[in-house]
């Protein structure tokens, strides 16, 4: 039996190595035991429905069908999606139709990975639930009875109807520009066309490919060359890219420039505060930048940073009065909606801001620079021979950190998740081991490319890693 462990968002493994039918069955039985022991009883005396969905990865549909069959064998009322769905579909269903949703997906990971995410109450299951599921693995024999096939349905309309309440469909109709959408062969293929006329949408990589066309389905800049090129060639107003399961998004402006998560968050948050009277706190992961801090400062809103992983943002949004929450990996949420990542909701919201303001994407970002300062944000990843202990690694780095970097003093050092060093002008450097892969991630943000690169180089030197 593999060491089945839920990381930042779900359990992931290499197909046929640790993500095997045997291990999936063991986890499915543990999830069934958890559901039977914890699901509420409805007024009619029955158990609420459980949804099982899947993405476009190799054999995801087969794994999902077997998970649903194990649930059925354990007398759980389960509905199985009849088609690949984005993970946000599952999250929305836990608000309207089901108590819990299980999705077979490895999100943005390479094609040889697969995984399982658990959603409840419109977000990723908190660690206390996944820990309880892990503890039940192997406690009972897998019960998978012959002929226990689950009911299959298309429930995506529930998601699209929900989105129509989160964006302004009338305002979207006033948007006249072309949009290039890179679906990266993922489960969100065709979703933008539900809200914009097909003649306005230029779709890239929308066909089903279990190997994702040989490119990792992660919407980071290095994977968006074709999107940037097509936006410029077709004179489109915006470029949009979704990851493999549709919960992450990246945007490209009309000039073909990649918009960092810092700028996307700033444009949306600033607009919602000024035009939608959004109130509350602003929460972001430590891997995000200073623009939201400055927006919070300008509007006298409380600002807070949490550990990397959108589930940590979601926890704060469910416990406190949070206006806007964001993580670096393309996850954004705001008050009144899903406390989970939803790439399509973010893309449509950004288009709505463009339509309402009459401004181009580059102009919206220029406004942010004028009001809150320039931002050059970058991340570099370094492969490690083995995983590092995050706490001890951060403490060693903290002791090595100089009190002054360049002309600026170190104002603050945080070991919340790795080591984050904040200078007296808001510039910052973060060095942290990944929570899901043997990688060291180094982040930096300043007002210029040269200064950001200098901080990245300093971080690599202090951490003892090389780009070679």
User: Each residue of 317-361: pLDDT tens digit?
Assistant: 989 999 999 998 878 999 988 899 999 999 999 999 999 999 999
Please tell me the least confidently modeled range out of 203-207, 234-238, 462-466: 462-466
CA distance 107 to 311: 15
What is the average pLDDT score of the chain? 94
Q: Which domains does the chain have, with CATH numbers?
A: 11-160 (3.40.120.10), 176-259 (3.40.120.10), 261-341 (3.40.120.10), 376-463 (3.30.310.50)
Whole-number pLDDT of residue 435: 66
Whole-number pLDDT of residue 96: 86
Helix or strand or coil: residue 89?
helix
At 149, the pLDDT band (50, 70, 90 cuts) reads confident
**Strands 249-252 and 258-259, how do they pair?**
antiparallel
User: Residue 161 contacts by C-beta under 8 Å, 6 or more apart in sequence?
Assistant: none
Q: Considering Cα of 441, then 446, then 449, then 450, what sign does the dihedral take?
A: negative
Decide if pLDDT at 1 tops 60: no
Nearest to 105 by CA among 54, 144, 32: 54
CA distance 463 to 99: 44
Largest pairwise CA distance in the chain: 71
Whole-number pLDDT of residue 390: 84
Whole-number pLDDT of residue 67: 98
Backbone dihedral region for residue 428 (phi beyond 0: left; psi -120 to 50: alpha; all else: beta): beta
Whole-number pLDDT of residue 388: 78
Helix or strand or coil: residue 119?
strand
Helix or strand or coil: residue 180?
strand
Burial of 84 (0-12, 13-18, 19+ CB in 10 A): buried
Q: Say what percent of the chain tops pLDDT 70.
A: 99
Q: From the DSSP assignment, how many helices (H) and strands (E) are in the chain?
A: 14, 22
Decide if pLDDT at 214 tops 80: yes
Q: For residue 10, give the H/E element and its range.
A: none
CA distance 451 to 458: 11
Quote the pTM value.
0.93
**Strands 100-104 and 50-54, how do they pair?**
parallel
DSSP annotation of 209 reads -
At 311, the pLDDT band (50, 70, 90 cuts) reads confident
Output the CA angle 333-244-63, nearest 5 degrees: 110
Burial of 43 (0-12, 13-18, 19+ CB in 10 A): exposed
Q: Which of 5-9, 142-146, 394-398 has the highest mean pLDDT?
A: 142-146
At 2, the pLDDT band (50, 70, 90 cuts) reads low
């Amino acid at each position: 039996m593999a060491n089945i462990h839920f990381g930042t968002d779900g359990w992931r493994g290499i197909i046929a190595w640790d993500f095997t039918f045997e291990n999936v069955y063991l986890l499915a039985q543990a999830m069934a035991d958890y559901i039977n022991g914890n699901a509420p009883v409805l007024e009619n005396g029955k158990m609420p429905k459980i949804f099982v969905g899947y993405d476009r990865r190799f054999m995801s549909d087969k794994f999902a069908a077997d998970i649903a069959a194990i649930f059925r064998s354990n007398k759980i009322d389960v509905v199985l999606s009849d088609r690949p769905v984005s993970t946000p579909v599952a999250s929305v269903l836990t608000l309207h139709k089901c108590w819990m949703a299980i999705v077979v997906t490895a999100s943005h990971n390479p094609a040889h990975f697969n995984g399982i995410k658990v959603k409840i109450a419109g977000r990723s299951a908190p660690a206390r639930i996944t820990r309880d599921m892990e503890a039940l693995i192997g406690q009972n024999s897998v019960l998978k009875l012959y002929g226990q096939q689950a009911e299959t349905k298309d429930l995506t309309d529930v998601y699209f109807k929900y989105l129509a309440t989160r964006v302004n469909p009338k305002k979207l109709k006033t948007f006249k520009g072309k949009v290039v959408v890179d679906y990266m062969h993922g489960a969100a293929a065709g979703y933008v066309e539900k809200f914009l006329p097909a003649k306005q949408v230029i779709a890239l990589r929308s066909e089903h490919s279990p190997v994702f066309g040989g490119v990792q389905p992660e919407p980071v800049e290095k994977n968006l060359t074709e999107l940037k090129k097509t936006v410029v060639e077709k004179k489109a107003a915006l470029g949009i890219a979704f990851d493999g399961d549709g919960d992450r998004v990246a945007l490209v402006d009309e000039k073909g420039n990649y918009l960092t998560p810092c700028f996307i968050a700033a444009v949306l948050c600033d607009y919602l505060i000024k035009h939608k009277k959004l109130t509350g706190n602003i929460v972001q992961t430590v891997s995000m930048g200073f623009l939201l801090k400055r927006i919070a400062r300008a509007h006298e809103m409380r600002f807070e940073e949490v550990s990397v992983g959108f589930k940590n943002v979601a926890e704060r949004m469910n416990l406190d009065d949070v206006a806007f929450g964001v993580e670096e990996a393309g996850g954004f949420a705001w008050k009144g909606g899903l406390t989970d990542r939803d790439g399509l909701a973010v893309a449509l919201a950004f288009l709505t801001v463009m339509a309402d303001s009459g401004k181009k994407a580059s102009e919206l970002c220029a406004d942010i620079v004028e009001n809150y300062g320039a931002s050059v944000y970058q991340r570099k990843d370094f492969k490690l021979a083995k995983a590092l202990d995050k706490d001890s690694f951060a403490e060693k780095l903290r002791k090595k950190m100089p009190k002054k970097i360049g002309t600026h003093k170190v104002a603050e050092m945080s070991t919340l998740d790795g080591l984050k060093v904040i200078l007296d002008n808001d510039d910052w450097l973060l060095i942290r081991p990944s929570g899901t892969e043997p990688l060291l991630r180094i982040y930096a943000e300043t007002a210029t490319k040269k200064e950001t690169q200098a901080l990245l180089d300093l971080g690599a030197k202090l951490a003892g890693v090389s780009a070679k």
